[in-house]
Amino acid sequence: MRRNTVLRKREKYLSKLPSLVGKVCVVTGGTGSLARNLILNLLFLGARVYFTYRNESKAKKLLEELSKFSSNLFAFPLDLSVKEEVFSFLKRLPERIDFFFHVAGTYHRPLERTKDGYERTYQTDFLSILWIDEELLMNHPETRIIHTGSVSMYYSKVDFKDPMSLHCAKTIRYGRDKRLLALYVLALKRRYPVRSFVLAHPGVSATSLFQSEKGGFGKAFETFLVPLMKVIFMKPWKASLSLLLGAFAGDGEKELVAPRGLFHSWGYPKVISLRKSLLESREKEDMERLIAKEKERIVSN
C-alpha cells in the first residue's frame, strides 16, 4: 500500500513536467539512492540516461532493475577520487549531452589523500566536478549542468591560502567543499551568462552517503540512527525532485532549487533565492584565482 502511494505521488508530480523524449542525460553516482531515484524520474520522462558507478555489481543490478522501465539506460565506471578515471570518462562522453547531473559525492570521510595527492573530499566533492565542467564548457555548449548543493555552503568557511586544508574535521571539510562548489557555480554564472548552470539542494534525506562503507558516521550511527532518519527525514525519491527540477528551472544568477518546507530541507522543490551571505561574499576574487590555478594545472598535465 505504501509503495503504491509513493508511486502515485511520484507519477502525479512527474506528469506536470515537460517530456524529455529525445534528450540525453548523464548522472554521476548512479547507484546511490538519490541518483537512482533521479534516473528513474528521467526515464519516466522519456530521456536517454548514462550513469556512472564505482561498484560494478551494483551497477549491473541497477541496469537489470530499471531495464523493466526503459532500454535507454547505459553505465560508465567513474571514481571521482581518481584523476585518471575522470579524464578517461570525459573521453567517453556521448557526443551530445542535454543535461549533466553532478550527484556523486562523499561525506564525513577519515582524513586521507588520493593517489593524485589531493585530500579525498576536496577532490571528490569539488575538484573533479570543476574538471568535468571545464570539459563540458569547451566541448558541449548545449549542456545544462546541475550541481548538488547543501545548506552547509552557508555556514562553512574556505581558507583560500590552503583550500584543501588537512587540519579540519570531517564535517568541516564537507561543508568547505560544498561552499567551494557553490562559489564555483556562481562564478560560472557570471562568466557565461548565456549558459545554464544550476545549484540544487535536495534537502535532508538519509542517503547512502551516511553508510559507514562510504565514510559516514560509523557502524553505530548507521545501525541505530539512519533508520530513525529514514522515518523523520525526506525520502530519497522526493529529495531527487530538486535535482530533476533543475533541468527546467533555477538557472538564474541568484537562484537555488530547494525543498519548499521548513528550512528548505523538506517537501517538494521550488526555486528560491540564494542567501546574501553567499551572493555578497568577498570570496569572488579568491575563487577566480583558484579556478584559474586549477585550469592551468589541467593544461599543464
* pLDDT confidence of residue 2: 55
Q: Cα Rg for the chain, rounded, in angstroms?
A: 18
Residue 210 has pLDDT above 60, yes or no: no
Does residue 206 have a pLDDT over 90?
no
The number of distinct structural domains making up the chain is 1
- Give me the mean pLDDT over the 23-41 stretch: 96
Average pLDDT over all residues of the chain? 89
**Domain that residue 185 falls in:** 2-300
Residue 225 has pLDDT above 70, yes or no: no
Average pLDDT for residues 193-216, to the nearest whole number? 74
pLDDT band at residue 231 using 50, 70 and 90 as cut-offs? low
Q: Which pLDDT score is estimated for 139?
A: 95
- Going across the sheet that includes 24-27, the strands are 73-77, 48-53, 24-27, 99-102, 144-148, 197-200, 255-259, 269-273
Is 278:186 a contact under the CB 8 Å cutoff? yes
Residue 1 has pLDDT above 50, yes or no: no
Q: How far is CA 89 from the centre of its chain?
A: 17
* 3-state secondary structure (DSSP) of residue 270: strand
Question: Domain holding 104: CATH number?
Answer: 3.40.50.720
pLDDT band at 167 (very low <50, low <70, confident <90, very high): confident
CB 31, CB 59: distance < 8 Å: yes
* Calpha distance 38→42 (Å, rounded): 6
Taking residues 18-44, what's their average pLDDT? 96
What is the predicted pLDDT for the residue at 166?
Answer: 76
Share of the chain above pLDDT 70, in %: 89
Q: What is the pLDDT of residue 143?
A: 98
In whole angstroms, give the CA distance from residue 107 to residue 210. 7
Q: State how far the Cα of 238 lies from the Cα of 246, in Å rounded to an integer.
A: 14
The residue behind cell 528521467 is: 42
pLDDT in tens, 81-136: 999 999 999 999 999 999 999 999 988 778 899 999 999 999 999 999 999 999 99
Whether the pLDDT of residue 214 is over 70: the answer is no
pLDDT above 90 (res 217)? no
pLDDT digits (tens, 9 = 90+) for 267-283: 999 999 999 999 999 99
